[in-house]
Amino acid sequence: MRILGLDYGSKTVGTAVSDGLGLTAQALSTIERKEENKLRKTLREIEALIAEYHAEQIVLGLPLNMDGSVSERAEKTLEFKEMLEKRTGLPVILQDERLTTFAADEILAGSGVPKKDRKKVIDSVAAGLILEDYLNEIKKKQ
């Protein structure tokens, strides 16, 4: 079963997908939009990825505050989760995403990606990390 991973931001959504066995996560792309609340095109692009990869589930990063409390961004993410479930009919699992963008930046820096080029891919790398964390949690439970 393939799983789509998403890192939802105010103007971007990073995307990633698992392999068919649910063992690894691969960063895909970053969906951009001009305004935060303009989501129709974003949702269409997510639906296209679901169809292309035959995803049966979505893992959505939940940006909690460092103390575990719900941030304003997390509240918007919860609203986006509801939209995704209604629009796609797929289950959407929330995954704590604290420090994933920081970790993604570290990975890119360590790989020699110049700082000016990281913005283009950081959200998709973060989505990959969110999905990877979820897959690792599943493995631990088995």
In the chain, where the domains are located: 2-141
**pLDDT of amino acid 25:** 95
The region of weakest confidence among 17-26, 36-45, 69-78, 103-112 is 103-112
Distances (CA, A) of 54 to 22, 43, 67, 93: 13, 16, 36, 17
**pLDDT of amino acid 116:** 75
Residue 139 has pLDDT above 90, yes or no: no
Residue 120 has pLDDT above 80, yes or no: no
User: In the structure, what pLDDT confidence band is assigned to residue 65 with cuts at 50, 70 and 90?
Assistant: confident
Mean local confidence (pLDDT), 112-125: 77
**pLDDT of amino acid 63:** 92
In the sheet where 55-62 sits, what is the strand order?
25-32, 12-18, 2-8, 55-62, 92-96
Determine the Cα–Cα distance for residues 101 and 73; give it in Å rounded to an integer: 14
Residues 6+ apart with CB under 8 A from 121: 27, 30, 108, 113
Regarding predicted confidence, which is higher, 140 or 26?
26
Mean local confidence (pLDDT), 107-117: 75
Mean local confidence (pLDDT), 54-61: 97
Please say whether the structural domain 2-141 has been given the CATH code 3.10.20.30.
no
| Exposed/middle/buried for residue 34 (C-beta within 10 Å: 0-12, 13-18, 19+) | exposed
Mean pLDDT over each residue of the chain, to the nearest integer: 89
Mean local confidence (pLDDT), 51-77: 92
Sign of CA dihedral 31, 35, 36, 42: negative
Cβ atoms within 10 Å, residue 53: 18
3-state secondary structure of 9: coil
